[in-house]
Structure 1
Amino acid sequence: MKASRSEFLSLRGLRYHIRHWGEEGAPKLFMVHGWMDVSASFQFMVDCLQRDWHVIAPDWRGFGLTDNSGSDTYWFPDYMGDLDAILGHYSPTEPVNLLGHSMGGNVVTTYAGVRNARIARLVNLEGVGMPATRPEQAPRRYEKWLDELRTPPVLRTYASRAEVAARLQKTNPRLSDARADFLSQHWSRESAPGVWEILGDPAHKGISPLLYHVEEIMACWSRIAAPTLYLEAEDTDLWRWMGKREEARGEIDRRIATIPQVSTRMIPDAGHMLHHDQPEMLAEIIEGFLLAS
């Protein structure tokens, strides 16, 4: 495995953990993880990169070694604010190569439409957003949010790190024992003897009171100026979030088609955690895209 190193920055009032691979002088490649994940999740893909890169990957607020937000609710625009601060710190003037997975893919793609001059090339790994909503859903959404504030969510604990690894493999049966063991070291910590906690703020489990306005997101995506690569797994389970498969397929394609300079690839023998399932293939495709003239 390629060695990584940790750095902690004070960003927007939080102590932010940033993971680095590679030398400082190498071309920069920023990677941001998805919901209930951590920056170390990219280790296997980074190991497969053939060129020298300085990979910079944060733990989002409330995940991994970054501080919790201090609030009982997490707001999508805060991820964009954090990303803007991170890019401003490491690359204040130079356009960047930016990659995001799942929730992180939604963040970077929306950001790329807002700060379109800041992005050189963009890679989205299954970051298609949430199901579209209707205004009449708002009263019940607010009601549910208020109810949850009275009984904050909790995350279950595990008796050993091996149990954490087994939990990861339950979610992704393709995950090898070695990779599950590695991820469990970064996805959890022992808070007391025989008590392993997931490194994620339980508040992430709570419902957001705000509806997902997909047309607003697509308006941002339509302003992206950078060449964009969208990667999706053949065995994805995006349908868990996006609704019935047939309808969701059309909606995903509609959203991706909004991006002006987008190319798409389907990754075989992979699920939603495609950077765990096919890191060699992803690394080759992504490097080819980033280095294309």
Structure 2
Amino acid sequence: MATTETTGLKARKSVVLSIVLWMLLAYFMLPLCWLLVNATKSNVDLFATFGLAFAPSFALFDNIQSLFAFQDGIFLRWFGNTILYAVVGAGGAAVIAAMGGYALAKFDFHGRRGVLMAVLGASAVPGTALAVPTYMLFSQWGLINTELAVIIPALASPFGLFLMLVYAQDAVPDSMIEAARIDGAGEARIFWTIALPLLAPGFVTVLLFQLVATWNNYFLPLIVLNQSDKFPLTVGLSLWNKLANAGGVNLAQPLYPLVITGSLLAVLPLIVAFLFLQRHWQSGIAAGGVKQ
């Protein structure tokens, strides 16, 4: 009898948990569905139909064509800038975090505890609090309105460094490192050929976090860039949205469909990147699970 009651209780908890998860999924997917539906509407249909209902006419391809042609195709320039900032920034941050986390986990050096405390403290500081000091520092260095003003801050990821530190402690056996040293391998070779493959799941995790953070970065590019041809998608689409709210400022092209369609296209690379990297993430976890 007790076993039957326990089974029934677990079944009810499973149903409740499933309902909660489906509700969360609907909550997070609703904005994406709204973007997908409204990107297919013309400017007239956008305000004449319900937000989650398709319009009689399908204007997605017309919106994309207008998006790429508007202001001499500056959207494509913003798209390229965002890819540059995200790939270089996120990739560099993941490599630096992997190297730093491995060093903190496997080397005992003077000042290690102080470095660890500094990393933990930096993880608690929001990026927006550092935007103005970063602007003042880059202004002295002459980096304002350059790509480096966006890329350099993206290379620093205290959370990623701490994550790699925790992961490297167990993922890279000390015995394997000692065996490589006995065979005559240098520290750099040990890291790139032995440690880094074992750190792949943690590396991809940091890469995903930094990729999303850099791709969606808005406040820092807003204050360090003042030329529209260097804007990322976040700043550029926000500028168009402000113009649309202001009545277009004598622009003949309706901007709301362009902003919505541009936002949809801006989301797609993140989805593709996550699906692609998730495969390597899961394969790395599976490989680590059977490693002796």
Same fold (TM over 0.5): no
Q: Which has the higher helix share?
A: 2
* Bigger Cα Rg: 2
TM-score w.r.t. the length of structure 2 is 0.20
Q: Which has the higher strand share?
A: 1
- Higher relative CO (CA 8 A, sep ≥ 6), structure 1 or 2? 2
